[in-house]
Copies of this chain bind each other. A is one copy, B any other.
Amino acid sequence: MRIFDYFRNTKKETASIAKERLQIIVAHERSQRNQPDYLPKLQQELLAVIRKYVEIEQDDVDVQIDKNGDCSVLELNITLPG
């Protein structure tokens, strides 16, 4: 899967209420499949950086990690108190 196809295929959100949201997507396209995948480890470190700016509860964070061939994608969806 190409790195940019991932974003095009993202489902459309249907929520209509104005909320404060933060979405972080890290896509790693490797040239060889046997390279280490560090995205799972990145997750907590990224949240630590974001927490310097906004207060985030653990329940406010939805985490997904997808792998498809040589492309790994870490997606963090954070709903902030509006």
- Interchain CB contact under 8 A, A10 and B19: no
Instruction: Kindly identify, within residues 19 to 72 of chain A, every residue whose CB is under 8 Å from any CB belonging to chain B.
Output: 19-31, 35, 38, 41-42, 45-46, 49-50, 52-54
- Interchain CB contact under 8 A, A45 and B35: no
Q: A20-B29, A49-B42, A82-B31 are in contact. Are A10 and B8 (CB under 8 A)?
A: yes
| This protein's copies in its complex | 2
For the side of the interface on A, what is the size category? 35 or more
- Interchain CB contact under 8 A, A13 and B2: yes
A28 to B53, CA, bound (A): 12
**Does A3 reach chain B (CB closer than 8 Å)?**
yes
Residues from chain B with a CB closer than 8 A to the CB of A24 are 24-27
A2 to B58, CA, bound (A): 24
